[in-house]
Structure 1
Amino acid sequence: MRHPRETMGWRGTRRAAAPAALAAVVALVLAAPPPAGATPRTAAGTPSGAASAAARQLTPPTPPVPRLPRDFRGKGKWIVRDLDITVPFTWEGRGGDSQMTAGGPQYPIWFTNLIYRDTLYTLTYKWPGLTEHDCSRIPGFGLEDLNEAFEGARFVGPETLRRTPERRVNHWRVGVVLPQLPPGNYPRLPLALGDIYVDEKNPGTFWQVLQFGVQNLYDPELDEWLVMDTFEHRPGTVTLPRRCEPPR
């Protein structure tokens, strides 16, 4: 089993989020078997085999999975509903490095997460009830590791985010469940879930993300939202906090 890693944007403890743990479960819809000796037909009299082939041709293909680009910049909000806290949020990428920043010194929540030179950093400056403010450093995690994790995402379906303006998106879900066991009656722990909403025309444009699980340990209800108002595909600014710099 690969070493547990912390996923971009998830805070609280070191979380098990190795890409191998993000196994997608493909939902299969099975038709009921016909009575013995019967030839199943559709209401129009078409043999069911031909109808199934026609239905497959009409079913739209699954869109490409989400993929965070190397260069981007966007602004929005970080929302913690159970604490009734909403703070400004920025998410920027440059040359494969990326940085999330929520809140600031004048807000009740203030943190930053970075993928910087193939290392994941998490630094929480302010959070209600928090007294620890160390910079967490997880080496060996870069942009490609994050996008590899997205490869296991499950497609939920197309949706419309009814905001101003409305956003037509594809909804994806990723999850970490431990232990990794075959189907059946086994004890399992849903460690982390993420609902990702990307633009229907560009899987590299992220409009909304819900994070739920032990990665949100600081929040009493274990869930937090990021909602983007803008997302542009041009280089942003990524700055490693001084507190996260290695000692010289």
Structure 2
Amino acid sequence: MPSVGVADSRTGNTPSFETTSAQLLNPEKTPKPPQLPRNFRGKGKWIVRDLGITVPFTWEGRNGDSQMIAGGPQYPIWFTNLIYRNNLYTLTYKWPNLTKQPCSKIPGFNRELLNDKLKTSRFVGREILQRNPKRFVNHWRVGVVLPERPPGLFLRFPLALGDIYVDQRNRSTFWQVLQFGLQNLYDPELDEWAVMNSWEHKPGKVTLPARCPAP
């Protein structure tokens, strides 16, 4: 079966930055799931489409720690997410209608736990992101649904969903990520996109903000 682009839930259209074309390479063999590398540097855009906001975005890793930074003081949104010394940190500096947000810390979270979760991803298909240059990717989906129940009529809630597009030649090169769920609580539609323009497998820079509690 041909692979299909991810459509805009509000218009039914597939925007140019995420449009995909059919491509099945070795269709009988499922590739290995995504894995976040220890060291990397990525640059691109963070897109909140229902708010009409697009800001610069960086995602870097160093020795297993990693940091996302979207926007900055001159942009309408500005936040950072970190995996730092076995802790998960989130600090939102700016967001529409948000006056103040402290740095949150969830202990006991690291790259190994993240990659263990990525191992449970479901393979969607091999696709081509229609950009310049075109990106040949493997499309994966991972989710968190609680409580865990067997198939059937049970009450359950989808807490988080991610669509992950990694390079077909290297599952540790991330070209696009959709986040949907409670982790996007500030966004009215609960979905946000990371679209990467570059990705290098070299140590990046990870800095814990002064407002965040030390490990």
| TM-score range normalised by the length of the shorter chain | 0.7 to 0.9
The code of the aligned residue for 2:81 comes to N
Match of 2:139 among 171, 176, 179: 171
Kindly indicate whether residue 141 of structure 2 is the aligned counterpart of residue 196 of structure 1. no
Matched with 1:118 is: 86
Does residue 82 of the first structure (1) align with residue 38 of the second (2)?
Answer: no
Q: Secondary structure at the match of 1:194?
A: strand
- 2:15 is matched with none
Separation of aligned partners in 2, 1:134 and 1:208:
28
Corresponding residue for residue 206 of structure 1 = 174
Aligned to 1:246: 214
Aligned partner of 1:237: which letter?
K
Runs ≥4 residues deviating over 2 A: none
Could you tell me which amino acid in structure 2 is paired with residue 104 of structure 1? G
Larger-gyration structure (1/2): 1
Q: Report SS of the residue matched to 2:150.
A: coil
RMSD: 1.2
Q: Could you tell me how far apart the structure 2 residues matched to 1:198 and 1:246 are?
A: 32
For residues 168-193 of structure 1, give each alpha carbon's deviation from its aligned partner in whole angstroms, at most 9, with x where no partner exists: 00000001112211111222212211
Offset from partner CA, 1:191-221 (integer Å, 9 cap, x none): 2110000000100000000011111000000
| Aligned partner of 1:226 among 181, 185, 194 | 194
Higher strand share: 2
User: Structure 1 residues 224, 59: CA separation in 2 closer, same or farther (over 3 Å shift)?
Assistant: closer
Does residue 1:217 correspond to 2:185, yes or no? yes
Correspondence for 1:61? 29
Amino acid corresponding to residue 119 of structure 1 in structure 2? N
Of the candidates 52, 58, 61, which is equivalent to residue 93 of structure 1? 61
The answer (yes or no) to whether the contact 2:59–2:69 under 8 Å persists in 1 is yes
- 1:181 maps onto 2:149 in alignment: yes
Letter in 2 for 1:129: N
Gapped regions of structure 1 (runs ≥ 5): 1-57
Find the aligned partners of 1:245 and 1:190 in 2 and give their Cα distance. 30
Gaps in structure 2 of 5+ consecutive residues: 1-25
Q: Which amino acid counterpart does residue 204 of structure 1 have in structure 2?
A: S
Letter in 1 for 2:60: E
Would the alpha carbon gap of residues 182 and 74 (structure 1) be closer, same or farther in structure 2, given more than 3 Å must change? Answer: same
